[in-house]
A and B are shown apart, each in its own frame.
Chain A
């Protein structure tokens, strides 16, 4: 009996030893994995992203229009002009457009190091309408990033290409696109003494160029309204009829131009409020220049700044709550911010030199300005509290920054003396890094650009 007891006891002890081993020791072992290797990658190569944009496949009856080449070419131009993308040579593509109606052979595109691939198809919708479908592919991830299908009249193919460009840009950069937009500016022709200045408008890539005024009177500082239908500008238009130079409103749909009221002094530097209901501008009278706000519906005008200083170039913050302007009230010309009712003016620029033409970015995080220091003009940026000031462009005369939608790209104009003693004035585009500057091609000299909001039509 004792033997049996001892045997049972031994068995119990054995079971418990096994039990303890399995549940106490084993878990520790199971958890004892190797620690993953930790690697920190600091910085990376900065280069334009290599992308492949294949010609589109197209129905035979549309081939003669060349849209299967023109649309991808325009998309490529937009993306390459942004400075962020590099189009890979189409001769190196191993798949034809017709082979790209389904899933691409990613290996073929990795060979040429395409990081993104854009494919498309054009079909006829009705007699005068087409349907354009595009797809964006992640070549290394072997996945489709997005697809979009647009239909429009054949004659609007450029617009389709711009909208597609915006979508691709937004997907690959995460920032708002600005290709489906227009720029209004002052076109300059004639001799230095006899300058003819006309209002002109074009797509952001320089196409669809047209003049809005005939050049019989001087025009300055055109500005787009938030709804794209109107442009406000300063003009000597009525000077032959005894009118003072004043602020005018031009309707892009009707082509009509109207003067914005009769003010006691000269009005200039107009700009719309973010909702388009008001116009903010400078009025000069009795030797002082102050900022006023005009309600476009009621035509009521209210003075926002007072004093003998010159307060000008007002620009609203995107939320409409604050106004940035420049003033010489402290002696030098500096930037100030005040509430929309004119209260609490606060100086935000403290660097050496003069600051002018401030423009609040559509995103609200930056204020672009013109700075004159050490005999040179610069385009600069700072945060609304005046911090992080940096200069992104310079020149003999560099002025008039204007923001593209999205607030990451600007346009400005630069005047450069030529060897023959004349001046060459051109528009330029630059992003806020200051790294990617390019000239906007215009038929003649060009100044005072104003970038439209995103096309909403």
Chain B
């Protein structure tokens, strides 16, 4: 029995290693750009990028304790078996419904662009969000939110975030119609409890595309500019901090 436990532990141990997320920090690049160098040098330096590693951080709530807010219960993955994903799970988020123009077919078209991203997310996140079975705990006296209430809260948060980013997003100067080309840009941002955006990370696939295609780079920069211009979110519900402390944003400059 002990031997079995030991073998099982050995097998599962690699899964708890630090996960390398498919993102590259732009901040690191900025530091590398030395002033006084010519443009040709600049190109070389942009290529020297460091991979950003994210260590899985322990949850703030105590293990096995029932979270105080129901929304947290739903969005948390409590029972994850760390195994390599066989299929890329489609991440369905209720927030997508906020923007009427988004449809499923568009997501399918963009699947390739975000292969890396999705794979990465799949490794780190639960499969399609399912409400978990309520854990019995006598200490929990707060009434639980219904599925509808959770959806409503998430929709409201998404709306707040969407509006504030969109207000600051201006398309880059482009003398071309890029409707035909896929120029979606994917960013991940980290937000402090007071709404301050502390870090902007460009997905690896977006950054690689920017390095390969000079006409795509301005779109990456425009997306970053929108976030930097915004600087700080307002009106986000404090009690739902866990649901907006990390935000993945997909910019699609031209609606097709």
Contact = CB atoms under 8 A, between A and B. Distances in A.
Interface of A: 16, 19-20, 23-49, 82-85, 103, 115, 135, 138, 140-149, 167, 170-175, 408-409, 431-433, 436
B176 A140 contact: no
Most buried by A among B9, B58, B158, B221: B221
A88 to B, nearest CB: 14
Contact of A43 (B79, B176, B253): B253
Contacts of A39: 95, 158, 161-162, 165, 247-250
Given A28-B82, A40-B99, A174-B215, A35 B170 contact: no
B4 to A, nearest CB: 11
Per CB-CB distance, the 3 closest pairs between chain A and chain B, nearest first, are A84-B173, A174-B215, A27-B16
B193 interface: no
A42 B102 contact: yes
B36 A85 contact: no
A409 B172 contact: no
Given A37-B244, A140-B228, A174-B216, 19 more contacts: A25-B64, A28-B78, A33-B125, A34-B76, A35-B91, A35-B93, A35-B125, A41-B226, A42-B99, A43-B254, A45-B170, A49-B172, A143-B33, A145-B42, A171-B39, A173-B215, A175-B176, A408-B175, A436-B175
A436 B173 CA distance: 12
Contact of A174 (B37, B154, B213, B228): B213
Contacts of A23: 9, 12-13
Nearest to A142: B30
A48 B39 CA distance: 24
Contacts of B173: 48-49, 82, 84-85, 172-173
A431 B174 CA distance: 10
Contacts of A145: 42
B254 to A, nearest CB: 7
A44 B170 contact: yes
B175 A431 contact: yes
A309 to B, nearest CB: 34
B38 interface: yes
16 contacts: A16-B5, A25-B64, A27-B15, A27-B16, A28-B80, A29-B63, A34-B245, A35-B77, A38-B96, A41-B165, A43-B101, A48-B173, A170-B214, A173-B172, A175-B174, A433-B175
B217 interface: yes
A431 B30 CA distance: 32
Nearest to B9: A23
A301 to B, nearest CB: 38
Contacts of B51: none
Given A30-B16, A34-B76, A173 B250 contact: no
A169 B119 CA distance: 37
B218 interface: yes
A340 B78 CA distance: 67
A175 B225 CA distance: 20
A44 B58 contact: no
B36 A147 contact: yes
Contacts of B148: none
Given A41-B165, A173-B174, A147 B37 contact: yes
B218 A173 contact: yes
Nearest to B161: A39
Contacts of A40: 96, 99, 102, 162, 249-250, 252
